[in-house]
Amino acid sequence: MTTVEAPETHLRENPFELAKEQLRRVAKTFQIDPNLVNVLSQCKKAVVVSTPVSMDDGAIQVFEGYRVTHNIARGPSKGGIRYHPDVTLDEVKALAMWMTWKCALVGIPFGGAKGGVICDPKKLSPLELQRMTRRYTSEIINEIGPEKDIPAPDVGTDPKVMAWIFDTYSMNVGHSVLGVVTGKPLNIGGSLGRLEATSRGALYCVREAMRKQGRKIEGTTVAVQGFGNVGSYLALFLHEQGAKVIAISDSQGGIHNANGINIPAAIAHKQETGTLAGFRDGEAITNDELVLIECDLLAPCALEQVITSDNADRVKARMIVEGANGPLTPGADEILDDRGVVVMPDILANAGGVIVSYFEWVQGLQEYFWKESEVNARLNDIMTRAFNETWNAHDQRGISMRTAAYGIAVQRVAEATMTRGLYP
Ligand code: NAD
């Protein structure tokens, strides 16, 4: 029996400490009661599970998994499940806290949660991945449920994994429970538009920001880091709107082409081979180089902490849209803010995913499904409203978009906590 250990991590600083620092900064600016800040600095519940799995060669491997709920003052907790070798409990806690703020900012009735398993899904066979998912689901089965905590996809998980979670939960309770998980495949109760929702929301955000600045997406030069669910659709949508996507990357490296990359061809290559490696529509660049490239818009859509106080002064983009959660550290934020770079923060920019997850949950509970145009129109309404609320606070108070977004969100959660009162 072997236990899978996390290799060297992409996390330079402890993400939960950074998330708490962000909260403290915002609480100071928005004068939030320190007693409440103490409550909101901690996660309500963190479960650590051991997930033994029979591998195809007959060996048993044990994977460590987590499910964390940060806060449920505004509704059941909601958050993705990450399969990645670098997952840590503190990373999951930070991601859970950001989910609380995200749901509050966009005004959907959820709290924040997140889950993760330390594993490399690319190295597991489909059957191993399925067994691991089903065992992990069984281990957290008392934590999740449509009125309690609702998982969704994140890095390394996809609709297929959500289908196994849905099935495992449903088999255990004896009937199909559509509302237990979102991001499901369409043929078992997924929502139209969910797959592209995070990127579509980010696109709406970029559109609104450009509108405020009297600019257009057409002709904008863009660099996108990460070419998974969020990065590839965002690159495609921007390409379709006439932007010139000059750089893209995945975990194995990137491509730069000043004349613009053929994004549909890149997506076809990635679908066929599972990687961007070997796609020859430009020169090879590293992920470190990609974030420093000369462009109008930079979209980090992979992992946390890719722009820190070490490289923020060399970022040349004029606008950043955080497709990923936590790609900028507070140190990087300060430098970019001083330099006048507009940063559309994660809890706003990538909220499209949880918004359409909310729609999927509602459709599942009602067993009544909407047209894609209806999903996208409602997403547009919510994103545009949240963007404008954030922009107005940023503009009127002279604070960064991040401080504005976090301030609005933390205030809403603090108010809900006060209204409910502290139990008992
Ligand atoms: P994914 O697994 O579909 O894709 C991740 C991509 O990042 C892959 O292309 C991978 O190769 C690449 N990558 C991994 N390590 C990298 C590295 N070190 N450098 C560059 N690229 C690297 O995951 P996703 O769902 O697209 O999630 C990406 C980010 O967006 C995460 O931060 C996630 O939390 C966030 N997010 C996702 C959703 C969603 O609906 N899927 C919603 C909100 C936020």
pLDDT band of 9, cuts 50, 70, 90: confident
Determine if ligand 1 sits within 6 Å of the CB of residue 328: no
Distance 233 CA to ligand 1 centre (A): 12
**Residues labelled as active-site residues:** 114
In this structure, are residues 187 and 369 in contact, taking their beta carbons and an 8 Å threshold?
no
pLDDT tens sequence across 295-323 = 999 999 999 999 999 999 999 999 999 99
pLDDT tens sequence across 132-164 = 999 999 999 999 999 999 999 999 999 999 999
pLDDT tens sequence across 315-372 = 999 999 999 999 999 999 999 999 999 999 999 999 999 999 999 999 999 999 999 9
Distance of CA 424 to the CA centre of its chain: 34
Average pLDDT over residues 175-190: 98
Flag whether pLDDT at 7 surpasses 80. Answer: no
pLDDT tens sequence across 28-82 = 999 999 999 999 999 999 999 999 999 999 999 999 999 999 999 999 999 999 9
pTM above 0.95, yes or no: yes
Q: Looking at ligand 1, which atom is closest to the CA of residue 252?
A: 11
Determine if ligand 1 sits within 6 Å of the CB of residue 15: no
Residue nearest to atom 36 of ligand 1 (CA): 324
Average pLDDT over residues 191-210: 98
Distance 395 CA to ligand 1 centre (A): 30
Determine if ligand 1 sits within 6 Å of the CB of residue 376: no
> pLDDT averaged over the chain?
96
CB proximity list for 21: less than 8 A, separation 6 or greater: 330
Distance 416 CA to ligand 1 centre (A): 31
pLDDT at 11: 84
Q: Looking at ligand 1, which atom is closest to the CA of residue 227?
A: 9
Q: Looking at ligand 1, which atom is closest to the CA of residue 95?
A: 34
Average pLDDT over residues 206-226: 97
Determine if ligand 1 sits within 6 Å of the CB of residue 154: yes
Q: Which helix (H) or strand (E) holds 18?
A: helix 15-29
3-state per-residue secondary structure call for 292-340: CCCCCEEEECCCCCCECCCCHHHCCCCEEECCCCCCECHHHHHHHHHCC
Q: Is 375 helix (H, G, I), strand (E, B) or coil?
A: helix
Q: Which token pair is 225?
A: 């880091």
pLDDT at 8: 61
Angle, to 10 degrees, between the axis of helix 15-29 and the axis of helix 330-338?
50
Average pLDDT over residues 256-275: 97
Distance 121 CA to ligand 1 centre (A): 13
Residue nearest to atom 3 of ligand 1 (CA): 228
Flag whether pLDDT at 2 surpasses 70. Answer: no
Determine if ligand 1 sits within 6 Å of the CB of residue 170: no
The residue whose CB lies within 8 Å of the most ligand 1 atoms, and thus the one to mutate among 102, 154, 292, is 154
Query: CA dist 375 to 43, 185, 197, 368, 419, Å?
Result: 32, 16, 9, 13, 31
Give the DSSP letter string of 110-122: -EEEEEEEES-GG
Flag whether pLDDT at 244 surpasses 90. Answer: yes
pLDDT band of 6, cuts 50, 70, 90: very low
pLDDT band of 265, cuts 50, 70, 90: very high
Flag whether pLDDT at 5 surpasses 70. Answer: no
Nearest alpha carbon to residue 68 among 40, 48, 38, 41 = 48
Q: Which token pair is 148?
A: 């309690």
Determine if ligand 1 sits within 6 Å of the CB of residue 190: no
Residue nearest to atom 42 of ligand 1 (CA): 353
What does the alpha-carbon distance between residue 178 and residue 260 come to, in Å, rounded to a whole number? 42
Determine if ligand 1 sits within 6 Å of the CB of residue 322: no
What does the alpha-carbon distance between residue 304 and residue 78 come to, in Å, rounded to a whole number? 20
